[in-house]
Structure 1
Amino acid sequence: MADDSQFLVYGAYGYTGRLVAEEAADRELDVVLAGRDAKRTRDVADELDLPYRTFDVSQAATMLDDVSLVLNCAGPFDETADQMVDACVETGTHYLDITGELQVFERIKRRSDDAEDAGVTLLPGVGFDVVPTDCLAAHLQSRLPEATHLALALEADGGVSPGTLKTVLGNAADGGAVRRDGDLRWVPMAHKTRAVDFGDGLHRAVTFPWGDVSTATFTTGIPNVEVYLSLPSNARRAFAATRYLGGLLDTKPVQSLLEYAVERYVEGPDAEKRESSETRIWGEVRSSRDRVVSRLRTPDTYDVTVQTALLCAEKTLAGEAPTGYQTPAAAFGPDLILEVPGVERVDLEDDEVVARETGPATDATGESDTDRAEDGETGGGADADADAELGADAVTVDVDDDHPAEESEGAADDDTPSPRALSDDAKPAVRRRETEAGTVEGEAEE
């Protein structure tokens, strides 16, 4: 019989999984560590003095009888989530993970009825992907309930872990995605650039297939969603170049070489680097008549993942999460992110700060280190000034969108394919090919 308070962390020896395991041990939570590699799992468990078990994800159904919840930290989740969800539904075990992979969200969502019948919660994306952005989307929708369009943008300091980089490289060939009129649609990676004010002036950001392209419409009901990632110019060009290298990037020899290089040369950020890093998130919703903007500042992405993953696990174990498929803000509300220390949320109207809320204090003074004078909050430039920041040659790709300052990255307007719908049964990952005319089409991957 399962212990109502006991949960299992799968992938406990990976970079993020180990951070989660260490924090769970510090809090003296009732946790069991697990993973596929016996030695690496045992080493972490012995160091933290925690129980452990080793098994391949294909054997999970035989390993979950005594736990009430699985927190899957083993990516790429495209390779682990489906079988673990199957096992959790079969054994009546709640399933959480820290994925940001859009196609994984879509597939898990299709298991909602099965999960409800089993009386369990399926809650993917309980890390930095997608708790802060999902909560910001829900908060913005509460400010403008009639909103029809949602845009989110992220800018992060710090480095990435090997697992995260392998996931990004593995998905690069699949292109990008947006949501239009409720449907997922394929677009080239980094097909649009937008100037975004995160609170310290304007920064260029490009479209990116963040998990919110899947989750935000479930959470908010808003049918049109785009997500942007702020990157240096070289990185923006590299992302845009993947539209021409998609087929090559997806070949087995190239993927194997990239994975080898990541394993050999890439390490996740150390504690000092995480301590000095922060993340800035911008969100906008608009209707035919109104527009509102809110912003978040959070600690380092990995530190947020540890906090939000364990917070969601504890809430789910306490019976606070509805059964079936859920998103973080749909399950626990838009203020979930404000339970994380060091988080600040700012609301703006007409580029003026109208509200500011913070999470638990991070120091003895109880004051967030991101507090700034309200008259300096917009960094001297409003989002509406983006055309001037981008330059006179900025091109608006989607002529039906009335938000300012968007341009195609590395391609003229008439060379950019229109977003193409994905069927309900297709993975929201689309392989690319060039036509004889030299234009680019999407080819759905089954």
Structure 2
Amino acid sequence: MSNHTIAVYGASGFQGVLVLTELARRGLTAVLVGRDADKLKAAAARAGTPDAELRVAAVDDHSALVAAFQDVDAVINCAGPFTPTGDRVVAAAIAAGTHYVDTCGEQPFLRHVYETYPAAAESAGVTVVPAATDGGIPGDLLAHLLGDHLGPLAELTSVHRFGGETAMSRGSLRSMLGIAEAMTDGGVAYVDKAWRSGPFAPLAPVPLPGAPEPVALAPFPLQEPISVPRHLAVRTVRGAVEESTRALFATPLTDETIATLPVGPDAGQRGAGTWTIVLDAVAEDGRRARGVVSGPDTYGTTAWTAVAAAQRLARGTAPAGVLAPAQAFDPADFLSALAPFGVRWAIEDR
């Protein structure tokens, strides 16, 4: 297997170090990119790769970013919040002719990338796959498999659930702070073959795995309403979380408070956490099926997923452009590749 070289922007952050560790585990060469050489050096040491190459480039220095992304096979952008600055990293990767993925969970940025960069990416021969995370890739891939199973869909509802410890990194909290309005009004859903902004009507309670009673849901700005309609014949795609989860996110912490918190959950908290995506699909002919994909450690799974996506793009087999995960990767193959990390998935008729 080729020893691809992957640049990690925001390498000194909490998620960045996890990505660096996964690159090292796979025997891939990492190039650390960020604005502070000392922090990059410390991050390389924490990831067990003290001799890794460091390249200094501030997010507002386009020329430096382009130079930093030269001569690498792919870029993984871990520098959130993405909505204010992620544009610059995407543009620099395309200008450098380098494939791009990120660890973004911010729906407004995800939609912006899909709508803004297809022509530039195609012209540069670059593949861009945003939201290469535990939430962004497994749900999109499983949705495609549900479409294969049922045929054209009338409706798809995605519910993201979290179990165990709920500790979050500073970067995740700052991302939530930046999209507080979207979290309050439900963000964007795909309704009757058009993207529409909330607020949306409440969703009916539904039975969920492990829950003794139907669970109250709230509309939420997830990735599937943005990505899935780009590759699946479907009329409506909605995102939701449990109402209790939305309530936790309803009043984001201030940036001043976030700065006083630990940089991220410790190993014990990460190990105790779980994530589950439940996809309920209704076919145009009325048949129903449910897909469920789940795994441990949301930050660890995001690192595994982002690296796996970048490694596949580095092989140069995906088409150029801004692609949903199911357009860039074989869905069943990618999901199966996550099995060693505890990710499980299944589809059942209802």
TM-score of the superposed pair, with normalisation by structure 2? 0.88
Q: Tell whether 2:292 aligns with 1:295.
A: yes
Partner residue in 1 for 2:226: 214
Q: Spell out the pairing of 1:270-419 with structure 2 (5 A cutoff).
A: 270-288=266-284, 289-335=286-332, 336-340=334-338, 341=340, 342-350=342-350
Match in the other structure for 1:228: 240
Partner Cα distance (1:46, 1:346) in 2: 39
User: Is residue 5–residue 317 contact of structure 1 (8 Å, CA) maintained in 2?
Assistant: yes
Distance 2:172 2:314 in 1: 27
Distance in structure 2 (CA, Å) of the matches to 1:300 and 1:238: 19
- What displacement does 1:333 show? 2.3
Match of 2:301, as an amino acid? V
Deviation of 1:179 (Å): 1.1
Query: 1: distance between equivalents of 2:204 and 2:255?
Result: 29
Q: Per the alignment, in what secondary structure is the counterpart of residue 160 of structure 1? A: coil
Partner of 1:92 in structure 2? Answer: 97
Asked if 1:268 corresponds to 2:276, the answer is: no
Partner of 1:168: 176
Residue type at the aligned position of 1:99: C
Segments of 5+ residues of structure 1 without an aligned counterpart are: 243-248, 250-256, 351-446
Contact 2:291/2:348, CA 8 A, preserved across alignment: yes
- Match of 2:138, SS? helix
Distance 1:45 1:98 in 2: 19
1:97 and 1:90, CA in 2 relative to 1: closer, same or farther beyond 3 A? same
The one-letter code of the counterpart of 2:139 is T
Instruction: For residue 106 of structure 1, report the CA deviation from its aligned partner.
Output: 2.0
Amino acid at match of 2:296: P
Q: Which residue of 1 aligns with 2:53?
A: 51
SS in 2 for 1:229: strand
Structure 2 gap ranges (5+): none
Deviation for aligned residue 1:200: 4.4
1:187 aligns with 2:187: no
Q: Sequence identity of aligned pairs in percent? A: 31
**Could you give the per-residue CA deviations for residues 18-52 of structure 1, whole angstroms, max 9, x where no partner exists?**
11112212333111011123321121124431111
Question: How far apart in 1 are the matches of 2:56 and 2:35?
Answer: 5
CA contact (8 A) 1:196 1:205 kept: no
Offset of residue 204 of structure 1: 2.7
Are the aligned partners of 1:99 and 1:129 in contact in 2 as well (CA < 8 Å)? no
Residues 237/230 of structure 1: CA separation in 2 closer, same or farther (3 Å cut): closer
Out of 68, 86, 90, the position equivalent to 1:81 is 86
Letter in 2 for 1:51: E
How far 1:131 moved relative to its partner?
0.9
Residue-pair matches, total: 332
Shift of 1:268: 1.9
d(CA) in 2 for partners of 1:318, 1:190 = 44
1:220 is paired with a residue whose SS is coil
Report 1 or 2 for greater relative contact order, CA contacts < 8 Å, sequence distance ≥ 6: 2
The aligned amino acid for 2:91 is D
Question: Residues 178 and 184 of structure 1 are in contact (CA less than 8 Å); yes or no, is this contact kept in structure 2?
Answer: yes
Aligned residues of 2:56 and 2:68 also touching (Cα < 8 A): no
The residue matched to 1:284 in structure 2 has which SS?
A: strand
CA RMSD after TM alignment? 2.2
Verify: 1:23 aligned to 2:22, yes or no.
Answer: yes
Q: Which has the larger radius of gyration?
A: 1
Cross-structure match for 2:146: 140
- Report the alpha carbon displacement of residue 228 of structure 1 after superposing the two structures with TM: 1.1
1:119 Cα deviation after fit: 0.6
SS of 2:71's equivalent?
coil
- In 2, Cα distance between equivalents of 1:163 and 1:192: 29
Give me the whole-angstrom Cα distance separating, in 1, the residues matched to 2:240 and 2:277.
10
Pick closer, same or farther for the CA change 1:237–1:20 going to 2, 3 Å.
Answer: closer
Structure 1 length normalisation: TM-score? 0.70
Q: Does the aligned pair in 2 maintain the 1:58–1:84 contact within 8 Å?
A: no
SS at 2:254 equivalent? helix
Whole-angstrom CA distance in 2 between matches of 1:267 and 1:51: 24
Q: Secondary structure at the match of 1:164?
A: helix
CA distance in 2, matches of 1:129, 1:37: 29
One-letter code of the match for 1:179? Y
The separation in 1 between residues aligned to 2:233 and 2:58, in whole angstroms, is 37
| Partner Cα distance (1:223, 1:306) in 2 | 32
2: distance between equivalents of 1:42 and 1:237?
Answer: 39
Aligned amino acid, residue 312 of structure 1: A
Q: State the shift of 1:4 in Å.
A: 8.2
Cα 1:93–1:236, aligned 2, differ >3 Å: closer, same or farther? closer
